[in-house]
Amino acid sequence: MELTTLLYIALLGPLVGSLFAALFGATPKKTFVGIIASALLFAAMLASLTLLTHVITTGEVVRATLFDWINSGNFHLAFSFAVDEITAVMISVVTIVSTMVHIYSIGYMEHDSGFNRFFSYLSAFVFSMMVLVMSDNFLGLFIGWEGVGVCSYLLVGFWYHKRTASWAANEAFIMNRVADLGMLLGIFLIYWNLGTIQYDEVFANVAKLSVETTWWISVLLFIGAMGKSAQFPLHTWLADAMEGPTPVSALIHAATMVTAGVYLVVRSHDLYALVPEIGVFIASLGAFVALFAASMALVNNDLKRVIAYSTLSQLGYMFVAAGLGAYWVALFHLMTHAFFKAALFLGAGNVMHAMHDELDLRKMGGLYKVMKPTAIFMAIASVALAGIPPLAGYFSKDKILEVAFGDAHFLIYGVLLFTALLTAFYSFRLWMMAFHGESRWAKGLHPHEAHKFMLAVIAPLILLAIVSGFMFEDTYKALVSAELPMYMPHMDHSLVLMLAGMTVVLVLMSIGFAVYKYSRGGFSESLQETFIYKLLSNQYYIPLAYEKFLTIPYTRLSELAWKIDQKVVDAIVDFVATTVYKSGEASRNMQTGNLSSMLRLMTFGFILVLGLGLIGTQFGVLGLIVAASAIFLFFVMWFVFYQIKKNLEKAGA
Partner 1 sequence: MIGVNHYLILAGILFVIGMIGVIRRKNLLMLFFATEIMLNAANIGFVAVGHYLGDYTGQMFAFFIIAIAASEVAVGLGLLILLYKRKNSIDLDVIQNMNG
Partner 2 sequence: MFEAIAFYVFASLTIVMFYITVTTQNALNALTSLAAGMIFISAFFFNLDAEFLGVIQLIVYSGAVMALYAFGMMFLDTNRRLYENHHSAKTVFGLSGVAAVLIVAIFTAPIIGGNAVAAYPGVEALGNTQNVGLVLFTKYLVPFELAAVMLLLAMIAGIVLASKKMDIEEEEEVA
Residue 583, interface with partner 1 (CB under 8 A)? no
Residue 611, interface with partner 2 (CB under 8 A)? yes
Size of the site for partner 1 (CB under 8 A): 11
Report what 614 binds from partner 2, partner 1, none; CB cut-off 5-8 Å by kind. Answer: partner 2
Report what 588 binds from partner 2, partner 1, none; CB cut-off 5-8 Å by kind. Answer: partner 1
- 586 to 615, contacts with partner 1 by CB under 8 A? 588-589, 591-596, 599-600, 603
Cross-strand bridge partners of residue 198 = 137
Report what 611 binds from partner 1, partner 2, none; CB cut-off 5-8 Å by kind. Answer: partner 2
Report what 595 binds from partner 1, partner 2, none; CB cut-off 5-8 Å by kind. Answer: partner 1
Cross-strand bridge partners of residue 71 = 76
- Choosing from 603, 649, 651, 652, the residue that interacts with partner 2 (CB under 8 A) is 603
Report what 599 binds from partner 1, partner 2, none; CB cut-off 5-8 Å by kind. Answer: partner 1
> What residues contact residue 403 under an 8 Å CB cut-off, 6+ apart?
320, 321, 324, 325, 326, 329, 487, 488, 489
HEC secondary structure over 214-267: HHHHHHHHHHHHHHHCCCCCCCHHHHHHHHCCHHHHHHHHHHCHHHHHHHHHHH
Residue 582, interface with partner 1 (CB under 8 A)? no
What span, in angstroms and rounded, lies between the C-alpha atoms of 150 and 176?
Answer: 10
Check: CB of residue 143 under 8 Å from CB of residue 135: yes
Check: CB of residue 180 under 8 Å from CB of residue 225: no
At 76 the three-state DSSP class reads strand
Q: Report, in Å, the least distance between residue 607 CB and partner 2.
A: 5
Cα radius of gyration (the chain): 32
Q: Which is nearer to partner 1, 459 or 599 (CB)?
A: 599
Q: Report, in Å, the least distance between residue 604 CB and partner 2.
A: 6
Residue 207, interface with partner 2 (CB under 8 A)? no
DSSP state of 80: E
Q: Report, in Å, the least distance between residue 611 CB and partner 2.
A: 6
Size of the site for partner 2 (CB under 8 A): 8
Residue 550, interface with partner 2 (CB under 8 A)? no
Cα–Cα distances in angstroms (integers) from residue 11 to residues 47, 82, 83, 133, 496, in the given order: 9, 11, 11, 10, 41
Burial 489-510 (b: 16+ CB within 10 A, else e): eeeeeeebeebbeebbeebeeb
What span, in angstroms and rounded, lies between the C-alpha atoms of 79 and 52?
Answer: 21
Report what 594 binds from partner 1, partner 2, none; CB cut-off 5-8 Å by kind. Answer: partner 1
What span, in angstroms and rounded, lies between the C-alpha atoms of 48 and 394?
Answer: 26
Looking at 46-54, 352-360, 584-592, 614-622, which segment touches partner 1 (CB under 8 A)? 584-592
Report what 652 binds from partner 1, partner 2, none; CB cut-off 5-8 Å by kind. Answer: none
Looking at 34-42, 178-186, 472-480, 597-605, which segment touches partner 2 (CB under 8 A)? 597-605
- Choosing from 192, 575, 581, 606, the residue that interacts with partner 2 (CB under 8 A) is 606
What span, in angstroms and rounded, lies between the C-alpha atoms of 169 and 155?
Answer: 8
Q: Report, in Å, the least distance between residue 591 CB and partner 1.
A: 7
Report what 591 binds from partner 1, partner 2, none; CB cut-off 5-8 Å by kind. Answer: partner 1
What span, in angstroms and rounded, lies between the C-alpha atoms of 268 and 42?
Answer: 30
- Choosing from 372, 556, 600, 646, the residue that interacts with partner 2 (CB under 8 A) is 600
Residue 614, interface with partner 2 (CB under 8 A)? yes
Residue 584, interface with partner 1 (CB under 8 A)? no
What span, in angstroms and rounded, lies between the C-alpha atoms of 466 and 462?
Answer: 6
Binding positions for partner 2, rule: CB under 8 A: 600, 603-604, 606-607, 610-611, 614
Binding positions for partner 1, rule: CB under 8 A: 588-589, 591-596, 599-600, 603
